[in-house]
Amino acid sequence: MNLIDFSTINNYIGGQWLAPSNGKYFDNINPATGQVIGQIASSDEADVQLAVAAAQAAFPMWSVTSAEDRFTILNRIATLIDENLEALAMAECIDNGKPLWLCKKVDIPRASSNFRFFATGIMHFSAESHCMEDKAINYTVRQPIGVVGCISPWNLPLYLFTWKIAPALAAGNCVIAKPSEVTPATAFLLTRICAEAGLPAGVLNILHGNGTDCGAAIVAHKDIKAISFTGSTRAGEHIAKTAAPMFKKLSLELGGKNPAIVFADCDWEKMIRTVVQSSFSNQGQICLCGSRVLVQDTIYEKFKLEFIERVKKLTVGNPLVETSKQGAVVSEMHFEKILNCIAIAKEEGGKILLGGNAVQLDGENKNGFFVAPTIIENLGPNCRTNMEEIFGPVVTLQSFSTEEEALALANASEYGLAATIWTQDISLANRMALKIKCGIIWINCWLLRDLRTPFGGMQNSGVGREGGWDALKFFTETKNVCIEI
């Protein structure tokens, strides 16, 4: 199996690798070098039509395949991902700019876990029955929906792509999936793995292209009955406008502006180590990163000094080199956006404590898109810097004195994805957890994930929950059958 060559990224439709109907391609760029590394199909509505026809043809067979057979195939995909970890990690690193060690440690292992988790999950999936004493028995069934659409972003390419398609396939649906046009490589390589694992033709169809031509055509297609989307709040809004009047099932995992709340009584060493990670992992390009660090006033100065010292040690460098803690940001466009956000922060009166600039590397990385980890203070909760998602290696520090103030700052956002609370006072932590308007709360930890738990945000961070039974319920239609006794 060739998992090295992704120089021409074509669609995978009905078990075949096809050029886009319009013959158009665009450049794939390695953000760590600025070099063109290949061509990506620029698909549109015509390709979506072909994919839907292939999926519809496969559905009658796949939807009645036994759970055990689906388990076997999805588990085989997981094993093949594990066996090809090195090649997939290299592709992810080159395509995305994130450090190779991170791809090996997090991105690719999580992709195989996603398949293994939902392969096993479908073997245990069951539905309820409700007995009306001596009158009747109701039983509930959860059946595959049909053809469903999965659209994913660039920050955790294979990780988030498989987080959607694995439950969709496990539940017996046929899938039209589109990875981000910025990072399509590993989704393309996954097609070779799926074919080798024996996934029948047409069950999974992967299209490449941008959001406006390809993504929007998936959302608008009348025969695609559910859309699972992860990406920006702006695109989520467009998708909802198209899909809602067609009564499609919708799962929207959108942006965030997450608070990391540090109380004076926290476990200092664990807190400071983890807040460095929760601020800058993956160059701050994780929807769960804490970009607003809120620190109790009695420890604010101490926190600031030690935080700066530790962040200084996050070496920005060639993502292929083991010692680089920070790689490139994902694209030139995103690089410009982050630098523009830093300029806005300065205009708003923000004081740059560290970073605030692009990093120019040497040699093959001299044209890459690198940004120094940036810490900003002196900004209030209502400025653009603290309201808008930057999605890069940029955090702000704000101080608070009381629990009420911490809560008000934490909730001073239209987003509501994740929050982290650092304190040894478990009652305080629980009071905060119940009042913070976020779908995910971590107390004295960050990014500790159990795949069974409901995952998702509230407010502008989205609608619906992924993970565990929530995902399998989303990808099935629920039907109640009532039998009079």
Query: In the complex, which residues of this chain contact ligand NAD (CB under 6 A)?
Result: 151-155, 160, 178, 180-181, 210-212, 215-216, 219, 230-232, 235, 238-239, 253-256, 287, 389, 391, 417, 457, 461-462
Closest CB 215 distance from ligand NAD, rounded Å: 2
Name the CA dihedral angle for 12, 14, 19, 23, rounded to a multiple of 10 degrees: -120
Closest CB 418 distance from ligand NAD, rounded Å: 9
Q: Which two tokens stand for residue 261?
A: 């709340």
Considering the complex, state which of residue 156 and residue 353 has its C-beta at the smaller distance from ligand NAD. 156
Helices (H), 100-252: 100-102, 108-124, 157-170, 185-197, 216-220, 233-243
Closest CB 160 distance from ligand NAD, rounded Å: 6
Considering the complex, state which of residue 163 and residue 400 has its C-beta at the smaller distance from ligand NAD. 163
Residue carrying the six token digits 């055990």: 68
- From the list 93, 194, 214, 253, the catalytic residue is 253
Tell me, what DSSP letter sits at residue 256?
-
Q: How far apart are CA 419 and CA 437, in angstroms?
A: 9
Q: How far apart are CA 459 and CA 315, in angstroms?
A: 35
- Sheet of 394-400: strands edge to edge? 351-354, 374-377, 394-400, 290-296, 258-262, 418-422, 440-443
Closest CB 461 distance from ligand NAD, rounded Å: 6
Considering the complex, state which of residue 202 and residue 392 has its C-beta at the smaller distance from ligand NAD. 392
The DSSP H or E segment spanning 339 is: helix 332-347
Picking from 155, 41, 151, 42, the residue whose alpha carbon sits closest to that of residue 96 is: 155
- From the list 93, 150, 194, 287, the catalytic residue is 287
Is residue 287 among the annotated active site residues?
A: yes
Picking from 46, 47, 45, 56, the residue whose alpha carbon sits closest to that of residue 9 is: 47
In this structure, the number of other CB atoms found within 10 A of the CB of residue 336 comes to: 13
Cβ contact 464:454 at 8 Å: no
- Phi, psi angle pair for 424, to nearest 5°: -90, -10
Considering the complex, state which of residue 317 and residue 456 has its C-beta at the smaller distance from ligand NAD. 456
Considering the complex, state which of residue 95 and residue 181 has its C-beta at the smaller distance from ligand NAD. 181
Considering the complex, state which of residue 230 and residue 324 has its C-beta at the smaller distance from ligand NAD. 230
In one letter, which amino acid is 73? I
Q: Which two tokens stand for residue 114?
A: 């996603």
Closest CB 221 distance from ligand NAD, rounded Å: 11
Closest CB 392 distance from ligand NAD, rounded Å: 11
Which residues are marked as active site?
Answer: 253, 287
